[in-house]
Structure 1
Amino acid sequence: MNIQSTKTLADVYYFQLNNHPRKDAFTQKENNKWVSLSSKEFIEKSVKLSLGLIDLGIVKGDRIAVVSNNRIEWHLTDLAIQQIGAVNVPIYSNINPEDYTYILNDCGARVIFISDEEILKKILSVKSSLTSVEYIFTYNQIEGAKNYSELLSNNEDTSEIEELRKTVSEDDLATLIYTSGTTGNPKGVMLTHKNLISNVIASSHRLPMGDDLKALSFLPLCHVFERMLDYLYILKSVSIYYAESIDTIGDDLKDVKPHFFATVPRLLEKVYDKIVAKGTDLTGVKKKLFFWALELGLQFDPNIDKGFWYNFQLNLANKIIFSKWREALGGNIIAVVSGGAALQPRLARVFSSANIPVLEGYGLTETSPVIGVNSLKPGGRMIGTIGKPLENLDVKIAEDGEIIVKGPSIMKGYYNLPDITLEAIDSEGYFHTGDIGEFVGDGFLKITDRKKEIFKTSGGKYIAPQVMENRFKESRFIEQIMVIGEGEKHAAAIIQPDFVFLESWCNRKQIPFENSEKIIENQTVINRIQREVDELNSNFSNYEQIKKFELVPFQWAVDTGELTPTLKLKRKFIKTKFQQLFDKIYRNS
């Protein structure tokens, strides 16, 4: 059985069992100990769960929702669903009850699997509004709730599952993934088995995978980026270890010593900021060496040989400085895959110079998700781009600069939204991404902005806010920024400072830091951030430069509404929430 013979998501799991089974196929922390399931144990348990679902009356095509953190049971449930032809509807655990109601009713979920008590409370708070839900099961043991273990069948006759597996076609709907969206109700993206499998196989050549490798998983599995990578790991027999939580990643990396992990740029930015903060706290020769190494790293380019002297210095920097960075990530990293948003080129340069290659990729839920990704093959990566498109995709730049894509991984459509589907996929089968891009170098794709986020000033100049925001977030003083100015005379910004860094800076400068509300009114702080803005403005044309800004006194988050679950800015929400600051910038001057 070769990799091309995998046609359904269930085939992915069985491929590992039949070709290269692992003793630690899936591993997670339980009672402070890492506990593993082998490939064989995992398959056997999934069959028991499938039989249990059949006993509930679940049939092919039924929707089953999974609202959970990353854990073995997530994939266990996924396989149990896929091998009987049902549809997995993964849902973020950090959305509001209204979105739960909409999604669960829209997809018609009959069963919900939930990880913990906090999520259970949210679901139960809207239970009376759920029109199709018949059963709720939990992964954790929760008093008064049905545990998923109650579903595990003792029936030793597994022939029914084997027969049902044969009835599942690559063109059948495998999953409904509801995109978070920045406005309106979430849209259910319909992905078939073929959509996901074709993307997994086409992406498999971009990561150098071999025997006895491990991956650490911590990005939400309900997001197609981490999910597709997990399928790739399973297909390639890479053992998957699940981080306990986003807060324990540092310790988990040291414990697991993984060869791969996926991340979003914001997490990588925070890692970098912490490293630089530690370097700043050094003194004397150690501090000089740290910033000497950092400066070398920021000049790195994998496609340019900078000569003997640079290479000699970089080798030395790797031995005395960057080796500590690698140790902090477990010491075995082959590659880090970054997706979900634009990666600052400086991060790709400095981590790659430290022998921690960061491979930026790009895609959407609607494309299953990968459209392009850098690789470690000679000539396979170019910093500042998202790599070359996958070989099985036809990627073009439309006349207005929009990236359009055609191929086997393009979604079936938006569930219950035929009109919006027709807007997204044209008559020739090209999906319109909404992103503006260009091809550079030897076929590398570069994203320049979101089509609908580009705005025009009253002077008729177009501004691409994402490009600017990504550059301004290079400042250690700025955690989040939203560039504004549509229809106005000039560009401006609403800035959320990095309050952790700001507090340490204030302590060094002996500026009292009572709370975030008061510190953003401190003129010394305002002046310092103005200096950052002035310096970063030099990277842009005069009409693009931020002429004014206002600071906000708290961190933007998913829970408070400024960010989507994938950490993108909710621009309309932010504008409404901070209308007073907008007026202060443009109306009170």
Structure 2
Amino acid sequence: MSDTQTLIENRPPTVAALFLERVAATPDGEAYRYPVASADGGPDDWKSLSWGQAADRVFAIAAGLADLGLGSEDRVALASNTRVEWILADLGVMCAGAATTTIYPSTNAEESAFILADSESRVLIAEDAKQLAKARAHRADLPRLAHVVVLDAEDALEAEGDPEGWVLSLDALEARGKEYLAKRPEAVKERIASITADQLATLIYTSGTTGRPKGVRLPHDNWSYMAKATVATGMINADDVQYLWLPLAHVFGKVLTSGQIEVGHVTAVDGRIDKIIENLPVVQPTYMAAVPRIFEKVYNGAAGKARAAGGAKYKVFKWAAEVAREYARTSQDNHRRTGSTKVPLGLAAKHKVADALVYSKLREAFGGKLRAAVSGSAALAPDIGYFFAGAGIHILEGYGLTESSAASFVNPGEAYRTGTVGKPLPGTEVRIADDGEILLRSPGIMQGYHRLPDKTAEVLEADGWLHTGDIGELSPDGYLRITDRKKDLIKTSGGKYVAPAEVEGRFKAICPYVSSIVVHGADRNFCSALIALDGPAILAWAAEHGLEGKTYAEVAAAPETNRLIETYVQTLNEGLQRWQTIKQFRLLPRDLDVEHGDLTPSLKLKRPVVEREFKHLIDEMYAGANEA
């Protein structure tokens, strides 16, 4: 048995125990950085917490929850954007032996109430008055919700009708905890020692592309395994600086905090998406995780900036983009065959010129020190991945589900292969079913769906194999390529199968104006597409083509815009099989977003929602067509 395997199999039962080990090992080491608004209205100031300082707050929160009467596996819901207090609160919940239920702050009041009720949460830790109001509106339906702890408590005061002590600030909770610890100094450590590996740690409700969300039960052992296994891949090390902005309500964000505790590197935490561009040069991360939409936006933004600078600069950008892709493909192919990433001298010379003109500026925009970026949650279009790889921004795609604690596969460092999600984590088994479905088994697999044994039985076999619902292929040397969601595969009326994600990914790499695309064609005799445009990119184009001052909807409806996008659809079709080609498309009057329910909070497409809302456009595309 390898040293890595031994380490993983002999892991501590909980991340709470790992946290104690980390604090004891490096109490004065920097753990977290977080932004604080400057008094003069200028750029944010960044403050730090050492591991010892973080532990003081975590223990106070844990003891405060104990003082409120919380015991083993009692649920504490967390509804907040990503910020350092989210991490401290989550660790406090785990160290108290309770279990965190995560709620996206964008979740509406009705669904928030459903999650609070279904999870039987006894405490809600809410970011601000807005999140408090959601719970208050449904308080009559939440008899078990005994307290709401508010992070930004200035405007979150008790209201008439609230039970006494129902609302308290995080400061007040920590103060209670300190008093509790003054009487029982070892109380939190005793609780940590009593937690078992199979005890519930986290209840994450899948944002769900259809229907009510299901609560995924993830015990302490899942996170202890994830902490050890992610570090064992060599993906992160103690000298790293991570920039963490992903929603921590999502399992992808959560796994990143576990790995950090194991290895002890610095994490800069700020969930404000509109601050990413501003923060990157300040934080100068060595690695960060993101979803494909972020990389697509950076790519489209760079292309748009070059286009706005004039024809010559745009030609240089397009040339450099093709050089980057050729360089990445060639070096990866060579590495696969020979173990060397060397490329022909002519290509190396072109790459050096392109680096000076384009790539170096792109790397500086990411802070200048980025060793690798991890992409997950959805597929990254390979052409976009190759572009960034050739530009020296190495995107390591990974794969997993909420049901597998997020990380089941990740691309290995220098041996990464764009277009794949890499190799399984140590301790993870994979097999491909006869119908192409990916099955997983590992210590990271969920216990099941909360209070839904029938739904659990549909996906989890008695011997531990999880049915992922994804279709994939394994290379002879163990790299996994995801081809589509099993339920998303389109079968045309002619009997041909089409993987919409593959077609959609290709189009995103071709068209710099696209934000989202939904390919349709199930039981039809041809494929069609609904296309949403990237607002800033298309409005910049519109201003240069006689449509200045028009709204997004007006630009999307303009014949000139339709002709523009048609050229990209034609380019797409040239590289597709006949039955995959897009015969008709419609431009949507708005972008797809979380607020309208088109995307999940982790930016996954809700196909049924989009197809239902824009059914009239789909019907229009097939009107008069021979559907026999």
Corresponding residue of 2:258: 231
CA distance in structure 1 between the aligned counterparts of 2:275 and 2:582, rounded to whole angstroms? 37
1:548 to 584, 588, 598: 584
Q: Secondary structure at the match of 1:25?
A: strand
Matched length? 587
Distance 1:240 1:25 in 2: 6
Given that residues 292 and 378 in structure 2 are in contact (C-alpha distance below 8 angstroms), is that contact kept between their aligned partners in structure 1? yes
- What is the CA distance between 1:292 and its match in structure 2? 3.4
User: Which residue in the other structure is 1:65 paired with?
Assistant: 77
Q: Distance in 1 between matches of 2:186 and 2:466?
A: 40
Give distance in 2, aligned partners of 1:565 and 1:450: 19
Q: Partner amino acid for 2:464?
A: G
Could you tell me which amino acid in structure 2 is paired with residue 246 of structure 1?
A: I
Deviates more, 1:277-286 or 1:577-586: 277-286
Q: Which residue of 1 aligns with 2:448?
A: 413
Task: Report the equivalent of 1:249.
Answer: 276
Cα distance in 2, alignment partners of residues 284 and 581 from structure 1 = 35
SS at match of 2:578: coil
Choose the corresponding residue for 1:124, options 122, 136, 158: 136
The CA distance in 2 between the partners of 1:559 and 1:588, in whole Å, is 34
Deviation larger for 210-219 or 485-494? 210-219
Alignment partner of 1:370: what SS?
coil
Q: 2:571 aligned with 1:530, yes or no?
A: no
d(CA) in 2 for partners of 1:264, 1:464:
20
Per-residue CA deviation, residues 38-60 of structure 1 (Å, 9 max, x unaligned), is 10011112111111111111111
Q: Determine whether 1:216 maps to 2:238.
A: no
Check the 8 A contact 1:214/1:260 in 2, yes or no: yes
C-alpha change, 1:441 and 1:478, in structure 2 (3 Å) is farther
* AA in 1 matched with 2:378: A
State the 1:171 CA deviation: 1.4
Contact 1:23/1:36 (<8 A) preserved: no
Does 2:288 align with 1:264? Answer: no
* Contact kept in structure 2, 1:47 and 1:158, CA below 8 Å: no
Counterpart among 341, 352, 368 of residue 331 in structure 1? 368
> Counterparts of 2:538 and 2:560 in 1: how far apart (Å)?
12
1:154 is aligned with what amino acid?
A: K
Shift of 1:512: 4.5
TM-score by length of 1: 0.96
Name the aligned partner's letter for residue 407 of structure 2: V
Identify the residue that residue 353 of structure 1 maps to in structure 2: 390
State the distance in 2 between where 1:69 and 1:96 align: 14
2:231/2:262 contact within 8 Å kept: no
Residue 169 (structure 2) aligns with: 147
Structure 1 residue runs of 4 or more that deviate by more than 4 Å after TM superposition: 2-5, 283-289
Counterpart for residue 307 of structure 2: 280
> Is the Cα–Cα contact under 8 Å of residues 334 and 356 in structure 1 kept in the other structure?
yes
Bigger mean CA deviation after superposition, 42-51 or 428-437? 42-51
2:25 to 10, 19, 23: 19
Aligned to 1:511, the other structure's residue is in SS state: coil
Read off the aligned partner of 1:50 and give its amino acid letter. A
Q: Please, which moves more after superposition, 422-431 or 61-70?
A: 422-431
The secondary structure found in structure 2 opposite 1:411 is coil
The amino acid that maps onto 2:197 is E
Shift of 1:24: 2.7
Q: Report the CA distance between 1:354 and its aligned residue.
A: 2.2
The aligned amino acid for 1:17 is V
TM-score with structure 2 length normalisation?
Answer: 0.90
For 2:19 and 2:202, the matched residues in 1 are separated by 16
User: What residue identity is the alignment partner of 1:334?
Assistant: R
- Structure 2 residues not aligned, in runs of 5+: 1-6, 38-43, 159-167, 335-341
Match of 1:47 in 2: 59
Contact 1:7-1:193 within 8 A present in 2 as well:
yes
Match of 1:30 in 2: 36
The answer on whether the counterparts of 1:22 and 1:239 sit within 8 Å (CA) in structure 2 is no
Distance 2:531 2:357 in 1: 37
* Corresponding position: 1:473 with 2:486: no
Q: Distance in 2 between matches of 1:200 and 1:294?
A: 36
**Contact (CA 8 Å) 2:227, 2:260: kept in 1 or not?**
no
For residues 422 and 130 of structure 1, do their structure 2 counterparts lie closer, same or farther at Cα, with a shift above 3 Å needed? same
Would you say 1:388 and 2:429 are equivalent positions? no
Q: Distance in 1 between matches of 2:487 and 2:289?
A: 27
Tell me the CA shift for residue 306 of structure 1: 2.4
Matched, 1:97 2:138: no
Shift of 1:368: 0.7
SS in structure 2 of the partner of residue 505 of structure 1: helix
User: Does 2:330 align with 1:322?
Assistant: no
**Separation in structure 1 between the aligned mates of residue 552 and residue 236 of structure 2, nearest angstrom:** 46
Question: Cα 1:107–1:520, aligned 2, differ >3 Å: closer, same or farther?
Answer: same
Asked if the contact 2:382–2:505 (Cα under 8 Å) also holds between the matched residues in 1, the reply is: no
Please say which of residues 206-215 and 296-305 is displaced more in the overlay: 206-215
Q: State the shift of 1:185 in Å.
A: 0.8
- Equivalent runs, 1:195-214 vs 2, <5 Å: 195-214=222-241
Q: Which whole-Å CA distance do the structure 2 matches of 1:257 and 1:276 have between them? A: 23
Q: Which amino acid aligns with 1:105?
A: A
Q: CA offsets, 1:511-564, max 9 Å, x none?
A: 345223322332221122111111101221111111111121011111111111
Give CA deviations for 1:265-285 in whole Å, capped at 9, x if unaligned: 001110111111122233476
The answer (yes or no) to whether the contact 2:11–2:225 under 8 Å persists in 1 is no
Q: What is the CA distance between 1:287 and its match in structure 2? A: 5.0
Secondary structure of 2:178's aligned partner:
coil
CA separation in 2, counterparts of 1:184 and 1:207? 38
**Partner Cα separation in structure 2 for residue 407 and residue 208 of structure 1:** 19
State the one-letter code of the partner of 2:33: T
CA distance in 2, matches of 1:473, 1:356: 19
RMSD between aligned residues: 1.9
Q: Look up the match of 1:427.
A: 462
Q: Structure 1 residues 285, 459: closer, same or farther in 2, change over 3 A?
A: closer
Q: Is the 8 A contact 2:301 2:537 kept in 1?
A: no
- 1:390/1:211 CA distance change after superposition, 3 Å: closer
Corresponding residue of 2:122: 110
Judge conservation of contact 1:89–1:176 (CA < 8 Å) in 2.
yes
- For residue 606 of structure 2, the aligned residue among 570, 579, 582 is 570
Name the CA distance, whole Å, in 2 between partners of 1:60 and 1:80. Answer: 13
CA distance in structure 2 between the aligned counterparts of 1:106 and 1:536, rounded to whole angstroms = 45
CA shift, 1:78, in A, is 1.4
| Equivalent runs, 1:486-501 vs 2, <5 Å | 486-501=522-537
Cα displacement (A) at 1:320: 4.1
Sort the Cα spacing of 1:20 and 1:348 in 2 relative to 1 into closer, same or farther, 3 A. Answer: farther
Deviates further, 365-374 or 235-244: 235-244
